[in-house]
């Protein structure tokens, strides 16, 4: 009987020592969170602008946000509808209240290697061609909307 008691205590001790305090599922979730939140993986901000000269606040505010976010996030700026007319060579600059000018923000974003994209259909409807775009601005391609960041994507729509 004494030997059986020792065997039970030994068995329980071995089992207790081999137990992981967290379940396998919880442990894999932690590894997934650690991989997703690694410092090398940055979240992305997708900024969508539709307005133009008729509403400078709706154009300059998102560009200011894009510049601010680009300090530590991956950023893409997509401009369509009326906004494409701001992106062509020879376009008049835009100023409003306490903001930098449109072309100042655009230059800052391009220097930070932020993708600035114009909708090709909207550009055509506005009477422009891809070669009319300012240097540093590209025609939008759907892959760029998904591949600009490895992290989550936050969208700001103006």
Tell me the three-class secondary structure of the chain, residue by residue.
Answer: CHHHHHHHHHHHHHHHHCCCCCCHHHHHHHHHHHHHCCCCCCCEEEEEECCCCCCHHHHHHHHHHHHHHCCCCEEEEEECHHHHHHCECCCCCCCCCCCCCHHHHHHHHHHCCCEEEECHHHHHHCCCCHHHECCCEEECCHHHHHHCCCCCEEEEEC
Q: Which residue has the higher pLDDT, 42 or 116?
A: 116
Could you tell me which residue, 65 or 3, shows the higher pLDDT? 65
Host domain of residue 93: 44-157
Greatest mean pLDDT among 10-24, 122-136, 141-155: 122-136
Q: What is the mean pLDDT of residues 42-50?
A: 93
Averaged pLDDT, 42-53: 94
* pLDDT reported for residue 152: 83
CATH of the domain at 110: 3.40.1260.10
Same domain, 117 and 145: yes
84 and 108 part of one domain = yes
Q: Give the per-residue pLDDT at 12.
A: 44
pLDDT at 7 over 80: no
Same domain, 19 and 48: no
Q: Are residues 89 and 114 in the same domain?
A: yes
Q: pTM (2 decimals)?
A: 0.73
| Residue 82 and residue 129 in one domain | yes
Q: Are 53 and 19 members of one domain?
A: no
Q: Domains in the chain: how many in total?
A: 2
If asked whether residues 79 and 151 sit together in one domain, one would say: yes
């Amino acid at each position: 009987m004494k030997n059986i008691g020792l065997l039970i205590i030994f068995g329980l001790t071995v089992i207790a020592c081999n137990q992981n305090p967290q379940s396998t599922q919880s442990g894999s979730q932690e590894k997934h969170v650690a991989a997703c939140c690694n410092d090398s993986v940055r979240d992305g901000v997708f900024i969508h602008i539709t307005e133009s000269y008729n509403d400078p606040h709706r154009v300059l505010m998102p560009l200011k946000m894009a510049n601010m976010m680009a300090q530590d996030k991956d950023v893409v700026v997509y401009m369509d509808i009326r906004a494409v007319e701001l992106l062509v060579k020879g376009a008049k600059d835009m100023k409003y209240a306490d903001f930098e000018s449109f072309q100042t923000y655009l230059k800052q974003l391009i220097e930070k290697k932020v993708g600035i994209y114009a909708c090709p259909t909207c550009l055509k409807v506005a009477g422009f061609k891809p070669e009319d775009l300012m240097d540093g601005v590209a025609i939008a391609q759907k892959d760029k909307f998904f591949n600009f960041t490895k992290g989550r994507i936050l969208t700001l729509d103006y």
